[in-house]
Structure 1
Amino acid sequence: MNNMNSQTLKKLPPPADRQGEDATLHQSTTVKTSSSDIPFVPMPDSPLPKPASTEEQIQQAAAFLRQMFHPDEWFELTPAVLGRDDKLRPRRNKKNIVQLELSDFTEIADNFRKFVKGATNGMYVSLNPCRSRDELPAASVRDADIVDFRNALVECDDIPMEEQLNRLCGLRLPVRCVVWSGGKSCHIVVAIDAGPDQKLYKKRVKVLYEYLKDMGFPADPTCKNASRLTRLPGAMRGKEVQYLLYNAFGYSSWDDFEKAQGTEAPKPDSTVRRLSYSFDIETNELIESYGSPFPLSRGGIPSGFNQCFFAAYVLRNRALLHDQATGWHEYQPTTGLWERLPDTRMQCVIATDILKFLRDNGCDELEAKRTAKLLQDILTLMNGLADDPVPFRHQKRKLIHVGNGMVEFTETGEVELKPFSPDYRSRNRIAINYDPKAECPRFLNRLLAPAMTGDDIDCLQLYFGQCLLGVNHSQMFLMLTGTAGGGKSTLVNIIEGIIGRQNCTELRLEHMVNRFEMNRLIGKTLLTAKDVPSYFMNNKGAQKLKALTGKDTLTTEAKGSNEAVDIVGEFNVIITSNSDLQINVDADNEAWRRRMLWIRYECPPVAERIDAFDELLLREEGAGILNWGIEGARRLLKNKGLIQRSANHSLRVDELLQESDSVAAFIDTCVVRATGESVTSEALYTAYLNFCRAQDWEPKEERRARRGFRSVINAKFQIPYRHDISSGNGYVRRGYVGIKIRS
């Protein structure tokens, strides 16, 4: 090969005949068209035969070069080599620039034979002549180095080669030759005849590719440049031979082609395949509303996608709902669930449905045009076509979605298991099957009975039933506090295991002041906060807990989105802690009192611990625990969503609220109105400390307590905070006039 590069290729004689048939050239007949005097050579009915020997390969390569280049012209002739990315590419450098001379072929036939045979991965050759090796300014040939803009390359990998040739037959192009690449496409060399004018070349190539697009021929747009290489016929590409399929046919020049366009432009019905559609009634209705599925080229070939049609087609083809808060959902008949589909999954759904439509209607050539941008554009249109922005507001609220059906509660209080249906609009499923005979003795006797009273167990059953329903009918949250190691976390793990972790998420009150935090809660039914510190509910975010459980409408937004979404605060909430919780009451005791359920674990820790007890109970008694919760849901609905607390339970809540608002409790209990009396802030705080010790409460630090004194005293007695209270020793202190500490 190096020897070959150091010499010039000499112009070759025509190949020898094989069995009386020309091995490389067609004997095509030139005809005059009926409407003008422009000569036109029809495309031969059959391609040239494949070279049967090495000599015929060399003869074909010689004939091709003689047809493409004039004597003494320089061009690029280079083998394909394996690149760093393990792909075969032409080796482009100055050494591969060669010249065709008028000399006897036999002088360099041996070298040429070795050159063609040695390039086992295929060989490339220039489309157009270029500068000589010495005149080349860069390391390889660029468009600016072309000296005669003679030819352009047309290649298409999107349709089978047989289809490529069928379509080429009717295009009536000025074809110089057609070469099989040895792969999956043919290289069509088209006459451009722009001479040294690069601008004219670009203009004509643009016209060529627009014409091909109009005629439905999906040409690769990356092949337009003049310095492009094409496959050299006669060279080996692995086990296949790159060879000439056709020599020149069509119009003899670009000028003739352009002249013929005005009077002899191809007629679609007679030149290229035209689709005949036969759609069902529903698809025809979509076409009536949204137009044809494809814009058609001048040749009657689909050239793209009608995005509006396919957006409506996918919506018609599948059971899909779009919710402004949670996005797209598709109904799954085997589970009865409206499963959420992220945008990436939706794009795959759209791509699959389009592919089926294309194959059903014989439009395989468009498969490769299902780009990510197209799929995203169709998805955007689908968002606009969705007729109900909040479809799940119609979800039935008095049922439980279990593994084997839908548990419904009748007006008479009966429990019925019904089959799945999309009409339930359910997005949250419990994977455990409903078995009305299943029981849970270890759950009741080993986990609950040792830890809480009968009233508390009854209260827990109602709240657990509410968690199964997925809606906070009672507008309450549950707190489990007390003994460390008493089984609180095990209980919550079991409740989450029954509900399904996919339906639960962590409650982070300290982050509730963040504008994006509530977006995490969308689509969940149970919020849990486990083993929290005593001050967990003593922050600004704690106020959101009332809204999250009280059916308030809340506005949230997601990062990266400008759209605000409204959600309804009907979440079930369970909080566990080893300590009694301090609540940021904020002078709203009554609202907190209505919301709170509080079960205290006052028993000693379990003496005999069972490793992974929650997993054991879920595995062995899951169906029974589900039954116990379903009974709680039945009782809750029968009581119209109310959870009645016992007297002890209510007293416990009142005491917690008083301790949480110990300053207000102290003022209510120990401070009275007294005309002519006064009290300093120091005296008030001392009395407050004594009051908290007597109640076994944790007092607030002095600064916070004094701020509390000021607001509570002003609200209760309408007495302002003063700086002129006499201390009896000639000094003045801060305090209040008109009240005194009860003795």
Structure 2
Amino acid sequence: MGYVVAGSHRIERCKHKNTPPPPPRKWTTAMAIIDKYTDALKSIPAPGGDGCHASLLGASTLGIMAGLTEQQILADVRVSIPSGKRRVSDREIIDAIKRARMDTQPLGEKSDHKPVSPRPRPPEPLIKPSYSDHLIQKGTGFTELDFINASPVPLIYEPQHDARLILETLYRPDDILFIGERYDTVVHPVSEWLRIIDKQGTAGLPHIVPNPVTGGKHPAQSRKPSFRCDAAIKSFRFCIIEFDNLSRAEQLAFWAAVPLPVAALIDSGNKSVHGWIAVEGVSTNQEWEEQIKIELYARRFIPMGVDPSCRNESRLSRLPGHLRAGTQRYQRLLYLNPSPKPKPIL
């Protein structure tokens, strides 16, 4: 048996038959770098003044030299950082990897590695799931009639009139709304919707987007322009809470006790009660993302069991006054308040 010595054209024979040939020099060098990389990962100090930031570059450089992908280096470094006085973000690690790539890559050479993206960290919940149980226990025994009697706007026992009542109470005549079937696209000013309802009732109008729209088409997630997508919202006035995992009695108990600025409670005509929560201080989709989707839903509502699909700004709710075909029950107003007092939202 023989082997070729790297850097030489001379073939040598092993002195002993059973002696395996040494590995190629390139391979042994790579293994040595991997060992150094592993040692560097183990040596990362706790963040917060002990040189953690500088050590990220050293470990990343060895990872690049060993031929590892940037995604692999990010994953390795992330799990190797011990607990310390501060949290090291993925962005800080990625910056170190990019710097290491620049330092080890020859000038003018293009990298074939795909850029690494930070993995989003889920926001820390501020509400424990047990808080929902506490509210339900506190509000147990509250009935639909109790809500109707407590409503600041008097409710009449003729649900056919609820559509006009909610439109006249919570909106201006020139506010533009979507009302209709799930896949309809028509929007009108409130004044026109009132005329339509007076003429033909609420047949074919089971849903409403509580937030007014601009009246024009905007790019939707499907990439098709839409009159009623999130980007089409003009006024960010309400967010919706709905439960899929609570009984009707538990939902009523929750709404009786929860400290939220409730503008409307709507019997869906089936199993659920939809709550419209008044929103203040939100004027853009970005602010909705930060204040509503993250701060309210991700950190407060969803940990309590609220349906997470309710969190977008163009979410459909049920239009009160519509007779639901599947159950032959009216979607009814249980509570209506045009001026809910601002409260600390949980």
Q: Answer 1 or 2: which has greater strand percent.
A: 1
Q: Which has the higher contact order (CA 8 A, sep 6+)?
A: 2
